[in-house]
Structure 1
Amino acid sequence: MYAVGENFEYMIEDIEHDISVIGDIMMFGDEYLIGENLDGKRFVFIYIENEEIVQLVEEEDEASDMLDNWEEEYYAGGTNIGDWDDDSYYEREDRITTGSGDTEEYIEDEDCSESEEDVDSFISGLMGG
């Protein structure tokens, strides 16, 4: 089985291609690999588990459907899901919303860091002293 980021060589129309695995998708109980050659052309391969080989999905309609499903479900149309700084979820996490509709008001949370005195007091209370 190939994982995302791994490479392999594959003969397509008598030309050897260096393929990089850029994704995988499970459909119909089978595992499919999405590969890309050095020119940026994408291919779909089925992983045949019992033989531990990959085989090119040659039927254009099937391969196109697989690519479309993968892009829609996993690739997110090019969105970088690892870009945490620009993720609006994390911006909302530190806010409290009051009101409804057009009257929503955001209140920024106060700094909730504990002082050293509070920690010492807590520990003393636990130790009975």
Structure 2
Amino acid sequence: MNQKASAVVIELAKKLIDVSSQRNNDWEAAYYRFSFDKLQIDSTALYSVRGEGFFFDGFKCVGFYEDMEALSISLVKEVDKNKGLFLLVVRSDFTYEIKFEWTDLGKWKISKEDGQSGIPSDI
């Protein structure tokens, strides 16, 4: 990853930490998933407290998704891919990691369907 892409990842992590801290002082980890292809983009985020996931409400976190998606699009341009996804994981101790996937657009879903916690599996 080049220097500009690294700077974007750091900015994404800062924003995710900031909004998580605003939502709940007891948050342990937060997850931001961004997927893209030529026709659409999709982003989902949630934070966890004691293993339970809580989605960030776009109405309560004004501008959060817009800012994150704008940064994500700039990151996608830097990695020069036209299809894929990434998962950003931040923790309350301010550590973070980012994972990329270029073929399996179903990976690392953030979902509460079928009784799931919302926390991405297989990370």
Length-normalised TM-score, structure 2: 0.30
Length-normalised TM-score, structure 1: 0.29
Q: Larger Cα Rg: Structure 1 or Structure 2?
A: 1
